[in-house]
């Protein structure tokens, strides 16, 4: 049952991404060229709403057992962010919107999804130990 709920939320998330233009390669290009700001505003709004939602959840009775652990920045954060940004700029999508693009019928997004999977596999295989990280845990 939990997997069906997650699938339903994921589908809703993908529909929202597609309907706001976040899964549109041309909209991403216009954002990166600073010709259009609506995706920047969308990212800012979702960050604020998510932060407020987490803040309220942790202080409500529904948040019992929910933990928000502080995450430290380690030496791989900056190079990882650079690689992520280059990939986003080249593909016109990030991991969430790549799946929304695929669901919207952009077959080329399959190349991006394969790249995301290969990048995660490569990091886990070759670099995770160097940074004291493991795919077994989010901590």
Give pLDDT tens digits for 27-69.
888 988 999 999 999 989 999 999 999 899 888 888 788 887 7
In a domain, 82, yes or no: yes
Is 81 a domain residue? yes
User: What does the alpha-carbon distance between residue 64 and residue 59 come to, in Å, rounded to a whole number?
Assistant: 8
pTM, full prediction: 0.70
Tokens of 95: 């991991």
- Report if residue 114 sits inside a domain: yes
pLDDT at position 78 is: 85
Give the pLDDT score at 138. 52
Domain count, the chain: 1
Q: Give the C-alpha separation, 62 to 32, whole Å.
A: 39
Asked whether residue 14 is domain-assigned, the answer is yes
| Nearest one of 107, 106, 89 to 23, comparing CA atoms | 106
What integer pLDDT is reported at residue 69 of this predicted model?
79
Please check whether residue 8 lies inside any domain of the structure: yes
Question: For residues 134 and 79, what is the distance between their CA atoms, to the nearest angstrom?
Answer: 18
Between CA 15 and CA 19, with CA 18 as vertex, the angle to 5 degrees is 85
- Position 22 confidence tier, pLDDT thresholds 50, 70, 90: confident
| 73 assigned to some structural domain | yes
34 sits in the region (left: phi over 0; alpha: psi -120 to 50; else beta) called left
> What are the pLDDT digits (tens) for 67-113?
877 877 777 788 888 988 888 888 888 888 899 998 888 888 999 99
Domain that holds residue 12: 2-36+69-131
Whether 58 is covered by a domain: the verdict is: no
Q: For position 117, what pLDDT does the model report? A: 92
Nearest residue to 113 via CA among 127, 100, 129 = 100
86 domain-assigned: yes
């Amino acid at each position: 049952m939990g997997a069906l709920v997650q699938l339903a939320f994921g589908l809703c998330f993908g529909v929202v991404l597609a309907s706001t233009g976040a899964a549109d390669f041309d909209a991403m290009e216009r954002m990166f060229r600073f010709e259009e700001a609506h995706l920047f505003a969308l990212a800012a709004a979702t960050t604020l709403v998510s932060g407020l939602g987490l803040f309220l959840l942790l202080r409500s009775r529904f948040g019992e057992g929910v933990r928000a652990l502080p995450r430290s920045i380690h030496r791989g954060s900056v190079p990882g962010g650079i690689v992520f940004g280059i990939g986003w700029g080249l593909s016109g999508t990030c991991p969430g919107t790549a799946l929304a693009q695929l669901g919207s019928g952009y077959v080329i997004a399959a190349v991006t999804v394969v790249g995301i999977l290969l990048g995660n596999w490569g990091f886990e295989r070759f670099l995770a130990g160097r940074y004291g990280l493991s795919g077994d845990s989010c901590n």
